[in-house]
């Protein structure tokens, strides 16, 4: 796939794809004999991972480190596992904070719904 096709498929800019590759968030993309990016399935897998991790808030530096470890081979499997487990722990903390915020909002919403029905707000 061309960079344009990948950009359209994942709804991200071509500049973002180039950036991911340039900084090492994804390994170097397969190229044609003429040097044009020619995304293969394995390249798309890396793009999908980068998009997923970034949308979850994973730091660029963590993604770069993960790719670097991957490229070093199987000896880095424990380090990759540790990195992924740490990112999961961070996401679980964020999830707990979001759930607490949702509970607080649900409470506030219920108070305002009651106020709409009764015409007055008993507490805020």
pLDDT of residue 124: 59
pLDDT of residue 52: 92
Instruction: Output the tens digit of pLDDT for each of the chain's 124 residues.
Output: 999 999 999 999 999 999 999 999 999 999 999 999 999 999 999 999 999 989 888 889 999 999 999 999 999 999 999 999 999 999 999 999 999 999 999 999 999 999 999 988 877 5
Query: Please, which residues bridge with residue 37 across strands?
Result: 31
Record the tokens describing residue 39, joined without a space.
């995304």
Report the distance separating Cα 116 and Cα 110, nearest Å.
10
Would you tell me which CATH number, out of the four given (1.10.1660.10, 1.20.1050.10, 3.30.930.10, 1.10.10.10), belongs to the domain 1-72? 1.10.1660.10
Q: What is the DSSP string of 54-112?
A: HHTT--HHHHHHHHHHHHH-GGGHHHHHHHHHHHHHHHHHHHHHHHHHHHHHHHHHHHH
């Amino acid at each position: 796939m061309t960079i344009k096709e990948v950009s359209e498929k994942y709804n991200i800019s071509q500049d973002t794809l180039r950036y991911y590759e340039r900084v090492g968030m994804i390994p170097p993309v397969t190229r044609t004999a003429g040097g044009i990016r020619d995304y293969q399935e394995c390249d798309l897998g890396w793009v999908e991972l980068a998009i997923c991790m970034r949308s979850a808030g994973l730091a660029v530096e963590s993604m770069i480190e993960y790719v670097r470890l991957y490229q070093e081979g199987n000896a880095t499997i424990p380090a990759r596992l540790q990195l992924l487990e740490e990112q999961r722990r961070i996401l679980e903390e964020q999830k707990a904070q979001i759930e607490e915020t949702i509970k607080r909002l649900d409470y506030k919403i219920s108070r305002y719904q009651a106020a709409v029905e009764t015409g007055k707000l008993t507490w805020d």
